[in-house]
Structure 1
Amino acid sequence: MQQLRLTRTRRAALIGLAGALAVSLSACAESKRDEAGGGGSGGTMVFGNTGNPKMFDPIFNDEGETFRITRQMLDTLIQNKPGTAELAPSLATKWTPSNDGKTWTFDLKQGVKFSDGTAFDAKAVCFNFDRWYNMKGATAQSQMIYYGDVFEGFAHNEGTTKGEPVYKSCEAKDDHTAVLNLNRAKGAFPAAFTLPSFAIQSPTALQKYNADKVTGSGTSITYPEYGYKHPTGTGPFKFESWDQGNGQITLVRNDTSTMPQPAKLDKLVFKVIPDENARKQALKAGDINGYDFPAPSDYGLLRNDGEQVLIRPSFNVLYLGINQAGPNGAKLQDPRVRQALAYGINREQFVRSKLAEGSEVATEFVPKAISGYTDDVTKYPYDPTKAKQLLKDAGAEGMTLKFYYPTEVTRPYMPNPADTYTAISEDLKAIGINVQPVAESWNGGYKDDVQQNGKQDIHLLGWTGDYNDAGNFVGTFFGRPKPEFGLTDQNNQGIFKALADADAAPAGDAHTKAYQEANKKIMDYLPAIPIAYPTPAIVVGPKIKGVVASPLTDERFDNVTIG
């Protein structure tokens, strides 16, 4: 879910004013909610999204606003138990690895159909895996972020992915048994099978609507009609419409679903309201039934108004990125300078004053809930005197750093980017750093500039975990050369190898210990500075029942009632 997701996706531009969006919800939705008041089932739930989705073919997505919607329509082989990062059955009732971790056998749920009426079976599972592996075109491959991260290569690499593929083949042993063969073990499995990008979709619909015809490049990428109008899965809801001009996506109950049963709601509407305050006012007015990422300062007020503020367990990290290949790369390559920045930030005060209840100071890039976390890492407590001395020793007193931070966005790890920037920049100024601020819209090029173009010296980003594996955090950040940090094959001090070794270790004690050792190496080298483990919330109205807050922002609405 999620540097949110910190990668190369681009979402459609928002149209219209946030305030207008907040109050332009349909009267039909409101009347449906009222009708549901007695019995609890039926009706329409309207949820306030923070931004527009990209489109609805999840293999080309890597960000939360899209995944929130696709999770309601499309199922994966394995899912997470509600409210946790624990694994639970979904389309697969059982998953069994071979001793060497190179083969995974999935026993599939029987009697399941896609929303187009076609059968879900082992052939459909293998069709999807083969589709991803055989994807053609540099543009299409470049947009398959999670496939590239997890499976590391295609049948024919045409984009930036250059690795030898993890995937080898898929065999439909019978209608209800799919066997996945790998070229090598992957410690991220089985947890990575929960990724929304790996949802199983109808082969018939994918072929009918030419789902693989991705064209263009850069900011001018065109996706086929399938992703905008015909996403077809086995989930409790199915796609009805997307009014892009008004930022409204409408799903309806999928009466053919057995996953685990049809939804209780008649309709589920997602309304794009970019401004957090406008979302709050829409909830108070009864125009929406819930929204994500309320400001921590509003928790008490919302509760006093009778709203339900559901706190998620922390499964994310906020960090200050350091670009060793940026405008001041030569100075930032000196470990004393990076250490000075870490000692100079008062993270305890920031967490207390700016973040929600339950948030903690981050000591590494892996949250405590993740297997691979270790307390035995080098720590950098607030010590401005030591920071000034390190800058002096490095000859970097009075240096100017170009500090990028995003606007027009609320992230689980960063509820208010401007406040976060202000707090950290004031700390840096206090140790003698000159800060040159660069504010840039999240959907207006921010992620490209800091992740791909490397224009910054330092920047704010973070990550919400997609699945319970340390590699999803540190492997995503530091596992290979990235312009975001200026890490190269030459200067990473063994971090790449340590993470590759950990990733290749099958799940278990060896896998955990390997990541703990990698985390120690990362915090010694300090390619960036972990700031906090925030605890984001989701808020719903007093009549909404059945929403379970998820650490992965993986809330499902199939069991929701309004009463």
Structure 2
Amino acid sequence: MRAPRLRAAFAVAAVASLVVAGCAESDRDDSGSGSDKTLVFGAAGDAKVLDPTFASDGETFRVLRQMYEGLVRSEEGGTKPVAGLAESWSSDAAGLVWTFKLRKGVKFHDGTDFNGEAVCVNFNRWYNAKGLMQSPDVTAYWQDIFGGFAKNESDKLPESLFKSCSAPDAGTAVITISRVTSKFPAALMLPAFSISSPEALKKYNADGLGGTADSVTYPEYATGHPVGTGPFKFVKWDTANKSVELERNDAYYGEKAKVKKLIFKTISDVNARKQALKNGEIQGYDLVDPADIPGLKSDGFNILPRPAFNVLYLAINQSGPGKAATSNVKVRQAIAHAINREAIVKAKYPDGSSVAINFQPPGLEGYNDGVTKYEYSTEKAKQLLAEAGVTNLKLKFHYPTEVTRPYMPAPKDIYELIAADLTKAGITTEAVPLKWNPDYLNAVQTGADHDLHLLGWTGDYGDAYNFIGTFFDRQKDEWGFNNPTLFEAFKKADSEPDATKRTAQYKEINKQVMDFLPGVPIAHGPPSLVFNKSVSGIKASPLTDERFVTAEVK
């Protein structure tokens, strides 16, 4: 799922280094050097677009991160913001004017120079977006972080956080924002804020979107001519065979990639991915089925667990078909008590997973162990339903098909366990399985025909707001409630410049959320990658920001 924003960054520990790989049979060449090799990685889903501006999902981000860079990036294997295309940055005393000192000698893949002017071209492009580019599904991350545009075309859009960008010289970019926020500048590590070649944006009509908001047609730049500054550059996108091919950027300013070619091949079924790995068709893949881990280890493959920087939740829509019941907090409490989360984690999640009691993972600043907890109790659930005066409750329960997510290894199985628990408490469910993208996401995030659904989040950077703010900082169709007190608490915390005070405010917000109970946090799980044992040099990232530039095939 699309993931989220900024703040005082928190480094996640315990990240495993990888030793992996092997080539596909067609690429085996024991006499050649490792730098001539091809690495094929099995992706769980297709890339959706090749322009970072329009990207919002993890599989697309995985590809784009190899070709593009932003001013800020996450530390390797962690969540802390570190230097990217900007070597350093600082703000004025008011926290509104940010000066970025840029790397020198950097060129885009088309040979043009990266400089302060290029940075401003990109920011002004985002800020001055018009028409379809203002659709929340098209520029999701701009709107999540920066809000509105220079000229908002919808009264639902807020004032923009971005105010201006200037380039005093080639090595400097100055960005002015309209208010103090914990999101800036850490949110700039998001792939959506990668810097594209201004020349390529113009040449390939990057803003020339067609179609409608429900069915966007993307221009040449986004489908066949992406141009960034990263260690790999684009070769081709074979939509028929569901693969994206990249090649080493030999003009890269930093350490050059150790493999010549990098291919992301979509294999949506996890069992098919496993078989492709064993057959040598691919050298690694993501989202390993927890049940497969012992067998893969015994077969000599290398498992790279990520830290559990995610959350799966059951959302309860207070504006859905069953709103007469779901808008009653006692009914929501009954649902929470009815679910045996411990059993779900034990049955469907890998070692190191935990039951969620907040909508953010443990260890992240703002986490509150003192929130209201809802222990598993069918009898308590029945009691609360009786107190609410609710009988014969039937709810529409959506769950996704044809997908596995880092936080949701087996959607159908998890749905069935929860549905069985609810039935014991006297709540029947109508199953609504939908294909993940776009059917499921459209239905549960923008529609009103759902009562319950499964969704989750993998963090974009190390801050509480990136989790709980993404879900609950304003009125959203996914949850269907209006809670001005909660919304105001988020605004106050986001604008608090003192990190210690802000953390305390997030702790209090977590308590408010779990008392109000818009949904039920289910689990935090450490998803894993797997590689053939002849590949080395990759480090697992809690943000799924693995860097293939360091991958080496022996």
Scaled to the shorter chain, the TM-score interval is over 0.9
Secondary structure, in 3 states, of the residue corresponding to 1:172?
Answer: strand
C-alpha contact (below 8 Å) 2:398/2:433 kept by paired residues: yes
Residue 496 of structure 1 is matched in structure 2 by: 487
Q: Give 1:493 deviation, angstroms.
A: 5.3
Q: Give the aligned CA root-mean-square deviation in angstroms.
A: 1.7
Amino acid corresponding to residue 467 of structure 1 in structure 2: Y
Q: Give 1:216 deviation, angstroms.
A: 2.1
Aligned counterpart for 2:144 among listed residues 128, 142, 149: 149
Aligned counterpart for 1:300 among listed residues 285, 294, 297: 294
Residue 538 of structure 2 is matched in structure 1 by: 547
1:387 aligns with 2:381: yes
CA distance in 2, matches of 1:159, 1:197: 22
Residue 48 of structure 1 is matched in structure 2 by: 42
CA distance in 2, matches of 1:161, 1:211: 25
CA distance in 1, matches of 2:161, 2:25: 49
TM-score, normalised by the number of residues in structure 1: 0.93
Aligned counterpart for 1:177 among listed residues 165, 172, 176: 172
Aligned counterpart for 1:198 among listed residues 193, 196, 215: 193
Report 1:448-459 matches (<5 A): 448-459=442-453
Q: Give 1:510 deviation, angstroms.
A: 2.4
Secondary structure, in 3 states, of the residue corresponding to 1:299?
Answer: helix
CA distance in 1, matches of 2:428, 2:24: 52
Residue 504 of structure 2 is matched in structure 1 by: 513
Q: Kindly provide the CA deviation profile for residues 2-43 of structure 1, in whole angstroms up to 9, marking residues without a partner as x.
A: 3x359xxxxxxxxxxxxxxxxxxxx995333x2267743330
1:221 aligns with 2:216: yes
Aligned counterpart for 1:336 among listed residues 326, 330, 340: 330
Report 1:348-427 matches (<5 A): 348-427=342-421
Aligned counterpart for 2:550 among listed residues 527, 538, 559: 559
Of 531-540 and 158-167, more deviation after overlay is shown by 158-167
1:322 aligns with 2:316: yes
CA distance in 1, matches of 2:154, 2:37: 45
Aligned counterpart for 1:75 among listed residues 69, 73, 80: 69
1:274/1:252 Cα in 2 relative to 1: closer, same or farther (>3 Å)?
same
C-alpha contact (below 8 Å) 2:116/2:173 kept by paired residues: yes
Q: Give 1:140 deviation, angstroms.
A: 4.5
Residue 125 of structure 1 is matched in structure 2 by: 119
C-alpha contact (below 8 Å) 1:30/1:44 kept by paired residues: no
Of 439-448 and 335-344, more deviation after overlay is shown by 439-448
Q: Give 1:397 deviation, angstroms.
A: 2.9
CA distance in 2, matches of 1:537, 1:37: 32
TM-score, normalised by the number of residues in structure 2: 0.94
Secondary structure, in 3 states, of the residue corresponding to 2:397?
Answer: strand
1:421/1:199 Cα in 2 relative to 1: closer, same or farther (>3 Å)?
same
Displaced runs of 4+ in structure 1, greater than 6 A? none
Residue 9 of structure 2 is matched in structure 1 by: none
Residue 92 of structure 1 is matched in structure 2 by: 86
Residue 513 of structure 2 is matched in structure 1 by: 522
Equivalent pairs: percent with the same residue? 49
Residue 23 of structure 1 is matched in structure 2 by: none
1:252 aligns with 2:243: no
Q: Give 1:348 deviation, angstroms.
A: 1.0
Of 134-143 and 553-562, more deviation after overlay is shown by 134-143
Amino acid corresponding to residue 333 of structure 1 in structure 2: S
Residue 533 of structure 1 is matched in structure 2 by: 524
1:28/1:358 Cα in 2 relative to 1: closer, same or farther (>3 Å)?
closer
Q: Kindly provide the CA deviation profile for residues 384-429 of structure 1, in whole angstroms up to 9, marking residues without a partner as x.
A: 2211100111112331111110000111110110111011111111
CA distance in 1, matches of 2:30, 2:309: 34
Q: Give 1:487 deviation, angstroms.
A: 1.3
C-alpha contact (below 8 Å) 2:132/2:213 kept by paired residues: no
CA distance in 1, matches of 2:204, 2:508: 47
Of 347-356 and 364-373, more deviation after overlay is shown by 364-373
1:209 aligns with 2:204: yes
Q: Kindly provide the CA deviation profile for residues 449-481 of structure 1, in whole angstroms up to 9, marking residues without a partner as x.
A: 111112111010001111112222111111111
C-alpha contact (below 8 Å) 1:138/1:158 kept by paired residues: no
Gaps of at least 5 residues in structure 1 are 7-26
CA distance in 1, matches of 2:153, 2:205: 19
1:305/1:29 Cα in 2 relative to 1: closer, same or farther (>3 Å)?
closer
C-alpha contact (below 8 Å) 1:37/1:562 kept by paired residues: no
Residue 464 of structure 2 is matched in structure 1 by: 470
C-alpha contact (below 8 Å) 2:3/2:460 kept by paired residues: no
C-alpha contact (below 8 Å) 2:392/2:426 kept by paired residues: yes
Secondary structure, in 3 states, of the residue corresponding to 1:278?
Answer: helix
Gaps of at least 5 residues in structure 2 are 5-21
C-alpha contact (below 8 Å) 1:543/1:562 kept by paired residues: yes
Amino acid corresponding to residue 148 of structure 1 in structure 2: Q
Q: Kindly provide the CA deviation profile for residues 143-192 of structure 1, in whole angstroms up to 9, marking residues without a partner as x.
A: 11010010011001125751011111011121111111011111112220
CA distance in 2, matches of 1:471, 1:214: 31
Amino acid corresponding to residue 516 of structure 2 in structure 1: Y
C-alpha contact (below 8 Å) 2:353/2:526 kept by paired residues: yes
Amino acid corresponding to residue 110 of structure 1 in structure 2: K
CA distance in 2, matches of 1:168, 1:161: 19
C-alpha contact (below 8 Å) 1:40/1:561 kept by paired residues: yes
Report 1:96-107 matches (<5 A): 96-107=90-101
CA distance in 1, matches of 2:437, 2:72: 31
Amino acid corresponding to residue 174 of structure 1 in structure 2: D
